[in-house]
Structure 1
Amino acid sequence: MKKVIMIFIKLFTGFFLCATGIVMTINANLGLSPWDVLHQGISKIANITMGKGSITVGVVIVILDSILGEKIGWATILNMIVIGFFMDFLMLNNIILVFNNLLLNVIMMFLGMIVIGIGTYFYISVGLGSGPRDGLMVALTKKTQKSVRLIRGTIELGALIVGYILGGHVGLGTFIIAISLGYFIQFAFKLFKFDVKTIQHRFIDDDIKLLKERFLNVKEDLDAN
């Protein structure tokens, strides 16, 4: 039980850090990341908060992941919901500062990417599945047999274009984040000496199979008695 509690503490710490980093890049006001351009565009069209826009996109992507045959982990579902909730909490309560200084905004944007990288390490390292967007990248890479770089770039570009059409804010920071974020995540992994290739994820269907097996074993024991 203690191990499970520690896993979920680490998981939710990762989600909170990711949300904090995202809000820092938003408050830097230099242009949103490609996905956040989409989230903001949806929030404007649907008249909802940006966090709810993130959750809406996450739901659609999780459905796509399932259709494409990608396994869903508990962290995938929680990522979809919790990060959006934390984003709204931080933004609606004005917890992250907003500066009217270009240098400070640039610093905040880069610090935000560092925080996102650390948060990504925290939540992925628990081994309960990746986020919906990463799952979509993996699923499309398997289906198309194209490179991860091409698939990721295509997805990000698609999110950016749709978000811009819907009214999301695009600026110089958008392109800096699109190019740099992967390097900051990689930096965080190296900082914590974490090799993502070694992680063995536990998926929801694994737990369902385990519960079925235990149920059948209990049933057999009862029948035997």
Structure 2
Amino acid sequence: MKQGFYWRCLFFLAGIIVLSLGIALTIKGQMLGVGSWDVLHIGLQKNLGLTVGTWSIILGLLILAIDSLFTKRLPKAGTYLDMFLTGIFIDIFLFVLPDAQSLLEQCIAFGLGIILLGFGCGMYMVANLGVGPRDTLMLLLVHRLGWSVNRARTTMEVGVAVVGFILGGPVGIGTVFMAFGLGPVVQWALKLNEKLFYRATGVESAVI
């Protein structure tokens, strides 16, 4: 029992770190545009100040409030932990990672960022200790509307990108690719991490 819980904690914390690194890398590749949520975060940063990670936390709190209204229950403690740790790690990685100078470096940073973002998302979700606010919203769409992970994630990505663009956030071809490409990556990562989790613990983790 304890061993299984330790594995859940490992998947959860490692997933958050990998996810945050992926987000930071996509921001470092901003010559191509940034991810949809970060278009919104950066747009808010330009207009109101604060860091990208701080806005990630603030919007996370808002999303959790909306989810609680619909589900009539409070999120798991892990959801709050995910929200705060992700915001903190995003700012840390943005500070320590060097800026990508050339177009090639920007492309590599952005592409690697998407893969790590999706893999980290799937990794911490299978731990079932509470998913982050944005994935809470994604799962709400999946369960309430019967949508696939792909459709729910893509709809969210497009919606927030539009709002972020209106606020002056950077939008480019990378933003479009991430809006439509991140959903399949997350869906693939979920299936892969469910297999890895089962091999490690012998317990199935049915997130969806």
Q: In structure 1, what is the equivalent of residue 88 of structure 2?
A: 85
Measure, in 2, the Cα distance between the counterparts of 1:39 and 1:31. Answer: 13
TM-score if structure 2 supplies the norm length? 0.82
1:199 partner SS: coil
| Count of matched residue pairs | 197
Summarize the Cα distance change of 1:147–1:118 in structure 2 as closer, same or farther, 3 Å threshold: closer
Q: In structure 1, what is the equivalent of residue 113 of structure 2?
A: 112
Q: What percentage of aligned pairs have identical amino acids?
A: 35
Contact kept? 1:90, 1:96, Cα under 8 Å:
yes
- One-letter amino acid of the structure 1 residue matched with residue 94 of structure 2: M
Matched, 1:167 2:168: yes
Q: In structure 1, what is the equivalent of residue 54 of structure 2?
A: 52
Q: In structure 2, what is the equivalent of residue 205 of structure 1?
A: none
Q: In structure 2, what is the equivalent of residue 147 of structure 1?
A: 147
Shift in Å, 1:116: 1.3
1:128 partner SS: coil
Shift in Å, 1:70: 6.5
Matched, 1:199 2:191: no
Q: In structure 2, what is the equivalent of residue 68 of structure 1?
A: 70
Is the radius of gyration larger for structure 1 or structure 2? 1
Shift in Å, 1:7: 3.1
Q: In structure 2, what is the equivalent of residue 214 of structure 1?
A: none
Measure, in 2, the Cα distance between the counterparts of 1:184 and 1:154. Answer: 15
Shift in Å, 1:200: 4.7
Q: In structure 1, what is the equivalent of residue 27 of structure 2?
A: 26
Measure, in 2, the Cα distance between the counterparts of 1:187 and 1:150. Answer: 14
Shift in Å, 1:50: 0.4
Alignment gaps of 5+ in structure 2 = 199-203
Q: In structure 2, what is the equivalent of residue 36 of structure 1?
A: 38
Shift in Å, 1:135: 1.8
- Deviating beyond 6 angstroms after TM superposition, the runs of 4 or more aligned structure 1 residues are none
1:129 partner SS: coil
- One-letter amino acid of the structure 2 residue matched with residue 199 of structure 1: S
Cα deviation, 1:21-61, whole Å, max 9, x if unaligned, reads 00000001211111111111122222100000100110000
Cα deviation, 1:56-97, whole Å, max 9, x if unaligned, reads 1100000001001175223321121110000111113xx223
Alignment gaps of 5+ in structure 1 = 202-225
TM-score if structure 1 supplies the norm length? 0.77
Cα deviation, 1:89-144, whole Å, max 9, x if unaligned, reads 1113xx2232222122212211111111221232112111222112223324544x
